[in-house]
Amino acid sequence: MKKSFLIMLSGLFILLACIAFPTSASADTTTSASGTTNECKWSLNSERLVIEPLDGKSGKFSDWSDIQSKVPDYLTTIYSVSFKKGVILDSTHLDFKGWQRLHIVDLSGLDTSKLTDMSSMFEECENLVTLNLSGVNASNVTNMSRMFFRCNSLKSLDLSGLDTSHVTDMSYMFYNIGCNSLDLSSLDTSKVTNMSYMFRDTYLTSLDLSKFNTSKVTNMSSMFEQTNLTSIDLSNFDTSSVTDMSFMFSSSQRLASIDLSSFDTSKVAKMRDMFSSTFSLRTIYASTKFIINTSSTKSMFSYCKDLTGGNGTKYDASLVNASPADYAKIDAKDQPGLFTCVHERGLQKIEGTDISDGKDGVITHYTCPVCNLLYKDPAGKTDPLDESAFIKHDPSELSYSWNLQDGYALCSASLTCKNDASHTLKETIKVEDSDENGYEIVKSPTCTNTGLAKYTVKFKNPNFMDQTKEKELEKVSHISVDMPYVPATCAKPGSSGGTKCSVCGEILMPPMILTVPHTPGEAVKENVKAATCSEEGSYDEVIYCEVCHEQLKKVEKTIDKLNHTPGETKNIIITKPTCTSKGRSKDVTFCSVCGEQILSTIKFHDLNKLPHTEVTLSPETPPTCTTDGRTASTKCSVCGMIVKYSETIPATGHNYKDEKVITIEPTCTNTGSYDIKKVCTVCGYSYVYSKAHSIDKLDHTPGEVQKKVIKEPTCITPGSREEKTYCTICNHLIKSHTELIPALGHKPKYGNTTLATFTQDGKTAWKCTNKGCNVIGVHILYRLSKVTLNNTTVTYNAKAQKPSVTVTTRDGKKLSASYYTVSYKNNTNIGTATVTITFKNGYKATTKKTFKIVAPKIAKVSIYTPKAEKKALTAKWKKISGISGYEIMTAQNAKFSKRKKTTKASSNVTSVKVNKLSSKKTYYVKVRGYKKVGTKTFYGSWSSVKKIKVK
């Protein structure tokens, strides 16, 4: 009530404001401004803001500061904003919050790859109607809170290209948006934790959330508060992490039912006003996962006056509002609640029983183990059954059906129990058309009208009543007779064949229409008019029928004019040429018969102008540095026309070069000076145009560096000395600085020494021998901890092999190689090599390590079936790597003892031809790889054996 009053009061204030401060019917469209920001330029013309790169290719843009400073009323002025391709947003955030005049935004040309925050991006853009987000890169965005807050004029929104895979906050995102529907199927919500107020106060009438991933959402408060939704599918919602559901569906007054069967509320701490003021709400479906673990349930069901539980428990404000948590449960026989069970564990079937021994039977029914209610259908979709109302059979549903066939009819009677369809009584009677008692012809059929028959059935079971059924009888066939033959002429058609009914006269088969065509004669010419060379001729071409003489066709024909007969050709001058205009002439041929010009032969010719006869009016005068010259002028002596006008040749001007004139020579203590003189290289004219230019002092000439020790260094304290440099000419101090002398460091003299081993640290006493220093100390060498080789197995390479040695001390640090020597033994040939490590310089220990030298590994060759040739064969195999070559062995038996032959091949081939074999003999073939290392050769395993009979 209070909320309604406030809404009414705010509306009154808005009305008064409109009366007191009327606005113009149309906005001022004369605003224009421009500027630059970062690497972009912007222009505002007729309220349309366009931002583009300065160089037309690419440029960074970070904020609105320049636009805001030049357009102070930008919030109420700018109608549209667009970004040209190449604009790069150099910021993590961009918003149009509160742009009241904004109608159109096009972001398709903006590079938003740096954008991480879209919160409040279009907040309170209440006039925004068109928004292009295609091309927007949101792959790094984590916050979309309040993104479309109160965009209540926005009726459509395409989010298909928006990448939300990293977004965690969508609170208030579509608050009060103007769309009736939204396609959210492309939104990735897998990382979202906050969806509070997401769809509050929207105009949405439908909403598909089937693709929403809510597994990480913790806050759903007011998510669907005050919407226009009539239904909502939340079957895929994962609420296992949600802690706040307060006001979630509050004031959504058109919702009649809500299915919360997927809701797990085990972590929810706030549920107050969750369904309050949903006046149309009648049913809330839930499962046993809907658990109340909180005391924050105040007003949970307030004003849900039509809400009813699955077992009929109705909303009672005095009871429910006093303890909402007690009614936030499934309505069952043993406990009242306002939720309806979704039978998550399935319904258990109770088999029906027949009536026997005077006892009432029971129809088959189903019971839910959660709510203990009884249902007639296995899905539990019907209303629950009253136990006292369904235990008796009710045989009240009686029905009859007919099946009419040729020569007989079937009538079936059925009596079914209204409470249990499995209890049915049936009887079927067959009546033949030959049955005089069961079949009667009421009206006989003719060839023009159908007839009528009636079947009568008497059932044996007294529960069934006698039945009758009428059947329409088809018309009888017509009696066909032939129609007379009528001959045809070319003037009148005839007919042949055809039949008709002798009873009713109906034509059963139309006769064939016979026609005889006209016999056209030869075409004749009539009304002939001869042609001449000046006029066309004509005639009529007519065709008549040779039998009846009827005119069949008449065509008017034209006779082309006769060609002219060319006679004399004359050249006629039309216009004579002069020195100011062209002339023109034509060649004309005349007809020798009619004397007319033959137009097709006329040829026109242009006659060139006559040339002017030039005479000089004035001679040419050349220019100088200071005076203009003139070109020569001429005229035509025939027509008097000036052919060339005299023109001014501009003065050439002086060709100056600069010359320096030193007036005072510089020294290292005083500056010098010079004047600059302009001298013409043509006429020699000169003048001083700039005086008293300064010449920098000369650099000082440094002498030897003078050094002086100020403080002597000690073992641990650095000393210092002063260094000065003077000019050898003027004795000026050029440079002076104090330099540190490094500390000397102790100069130890070592005394008693304990050597380090694998079991004890080493120690050496020492005393500093520098003058004035009596410092003594002990130098510790940490005991040896571990000795390792970098490789314990190496492949034979015919060279001495020396794996590197690493020694670590008890402090885990690597020991310098200066503290030990390494020697190797038996480290060239295959076998076990020995490494001896002998320690020195404060260490006393010797240890040995071994490593193995093994033969090279050679892969086994895969052989293909050889190719038989005349007294030869070609062996083929699959190439292997890391070898020197292949060895191919052939023989006439599988043991390779008879006529054995060995052939070698290089490593880069995969086939070899073996010649000089015995014809028509079977040979066995195998291949292996080998590798040469130094003077030794290593062989791999033989391949499988293939056999082939040579030709």
Distance CA 704, CA 725 (A): 6
pLDDT of 10? 46
Please check whether residues 850 and 758 belong to one and the same domain: yes
Please check whether residues 723 and 770 belong to one and the same domain: no
| Side chain identity, residue 620 | E
Q: Look at strands 374-375 and 397-405 and give their pairing.
A: unpaired
Mean pLDDT along residues 821-849:
94
pLDDT of 416? 74
Q: Answer yes or no: are the C-beta atoms of 899 and 891 closer than 8 Å.
A: yes
pLDDT for residue 82 is more than 60? yes
Output the average pLDDT for the chain. 86
When pLDDT is cut at 50, 70 and 90, the band that residue 683 belongs to is confident
Please check whether residues 732 and 760 belong to one and the same domain: no
Distance CA 533, CA 440 (A): 98
Residue at which a domain ends, from 373, 405, 434: 434
When pLDDT is cut at 50, 70 and 90, the band that residue 421 belongs to is low
Q: Look at strands 648-649 and 656-664 and give their pairing.
A: unpaired
pLDDT for residue 517 is more than 80? yes
Better-predicted residue by pLDDT, 345 or 759 = 759
- Is 811 a member of any domain? yes
Most confident of 24-38, 60-74, 661-675: 60-74
Mean pLDDT along residues 18-23:
38
CATH number at residue 884: 2.60.40.10
pLDDT of 14? 40
pTM above 0.85, yes or no: no
Distance CA 346, CA 370 (A): 9
Distance CA 319, CA 521 (A): 114
When pLDDT is cut at 50, 70 and 90, the band that residue 13 belongs to is very low
When pLDDT is cut at 50, 70 and 90, the band that residue 921 belongs to is very high
Residue at which a domain ends, from 342, 374, 407: 342
pLDDT single digits (tens) 297-330:
899 999 999 999 988 899 998 888 889 988 988 8
Give the least confident one: 250-259, 601-610, 872-881, 918-927. 601-610
Q: Answer yes or no: are the C-beta atoms of 380 and 347 closer than 8 Å.
A: yes
Mean pLDDT along residues 699-726:
86
Please check whether residues 319 and 286 belong to one and the same domain: yes
pLDDT single digits (tens) 750-807:
777 889 999 999 988 888 888 878 788 888 889 999 999 999 999 999 999 999 999 9
Tell me how far the alpha carbon of residue 949 is from its chain's centroid.
63
Distance CA 90, CA 836 (A): 64
- Is 154 a member of any domain? no
Q: Answer yes or no: are the C-beta atoms of 470 and 451 closer than 8 Å.
A: no
Distance CA 781, CA 809 (A): 9
pLDDT of 785? 92
Please check whether residues 352 and 403 belong to one and the same domain: no
pLDDT of 372? 72
When pLDDT is cut at 50, 70 and 90, the band that residue 687 belongs to is confident
- Is 732 a member of any domain? yes
Write phi, then psi, for 733 (nearest 5 degrees).
-70, 110
Please check whether residues 256 and 291 belong to one and the same domain: yes
Residue at which a domain ends, from 829, 854, 879: 854
pLDDT of 358? 41
Taking Cα atoms as reference points, which of 44, 84, 83, 86 lies closest to residue 67? 44
As given in the structure block, the two tokens for residue 724 are: 């000065």
Distance CA 882, CA 460 (A): 100
pLDDT of 28? 42
Domain ranges, residue 810: 749-854
pLDDT for residue 216 is more than 50? yes
When pLDDT is cut at 50, 70 and 90, the band that residue 19 belongs to is very low
Contacts of 188 (CB under 8 A, 6+ apart): 163, 164, 165, 167, 213
Better-predicted residue by pLDDT, 61 or 751 = 61
pLDDT for residue 1 is more than 50? no
- Is 711 a member of any domain? yes
Distance CA 549, CA 541 (A): 15
DSSP letter string, 792-811: SEEE--SS-----EEEEETT
pLDDT of 387? 60
pLDDT of 306? 93
Distance CA 883, CA 861 (A): 11
Mean pLDDT along residues 626-635:
86
Q: Answer yes or no: are the C-beta atoms of 163 and 140 closer than 8 Å.
A: no
pLDDT of 693? 84
Better-predicted residue by pLDDT, 242 or 397 = 242
pLDDT of 628? 84
pLDDT of 941? 93
When pLDDT is cut at 50, 70 and 90, the band that residue 441 belongs to is confident
Please check whether residues 715 and 734 belong to one and the same domain: yes
Mean pLDDT along residues 87-104:
93
Q: Look at strands 48-53 and 80-83 and give their pairing.
A: parallel
- Is 685 a member of any domain? no
CATH number at residue 759: 2.60.40
pLDDT for residue 419 is more than 70? no
Please check whether residues 732 and 813 belong to one and the same domain: no
Mean pLDDT along residues 458-472:
85
pLDDT for residue 711 is more than 80? yes
- % of the chain with per-residue pLDDT over 70: 93
pLDDT of 377? 74
Site of tokens 């529907």:
181
Distance CA 719, CA 706 (A): 17
Please check whether residues 354 and 337 belong to one and the same domain: no
When pLDDT is cut at 50, 70 and 90, the band that residue 397 belongs to is low
When pLDDT is cut at 50, 70 and 90, the band that residue 53 belongs to is very high
Total number of domains constituting the chain: 6
- Is 105 a member of any domain? no
- Is 398 a member of any domain? yes
pLDDT single digits (tens) 801-814:
999 999 999 999 99
pLDDT for residue 948 is more than 80? yes
Mean pLDDT along residues 59-83:
92
Please check whether residues 753 and 850 belong to one and the same domain: yes
pLDDT for residue 163 is more than 90? yes
Distance CA 253, CA 277 (A): 7
CB atoms within 10 A of CB 264: 17
pLDDT of 7? 41
pLDDT single digits (tens) 224-245:
999 999 999 998 999 999 999 9
- Is 812 a member of any domain? yes
Question: For 867, which DSSP code?
Answer: E
Report the DSSP beta bridge partners of residue 468: 456
CA distances to 313, 384, 393, 550, 913 from 375, in Å: 17, 5, 16, 95, 88
Please check whether residues 424 and 375 belong to one and the same domain: no
When pLDDT is cut at 50, 70 and 90, the band that residue 433 belongs to is confident
Give the least confident one: 507-516, 796-805, 815-824. 507-516
Long-range residue pairs from 460-469, CB within 8 A, at least 24 positions apart, any chain: 460/427, 461/413, 461/425, 461/427, 463/398, 463/415, 463/425, 464/398, 464/400, 464/413, 464/415, 464/427, 467/400, 467/402, 467/411, 467/413, 469/402, 469/404, 469/409, 469/411
pLDDT for residue 167 is more than 90? yes
DSSP letter string, 882-903: S-SEEEEEEESSTTS-SS-EEE
Mean pLDDT along residues 866-885:
93
Mean pLDDT along residues 47-61:
93
Gyration radius (Cα) of the chain, Å: 59
Please check whether residues 847 and 875 belong to one and the same domain: no
pLDDT of 15? 40
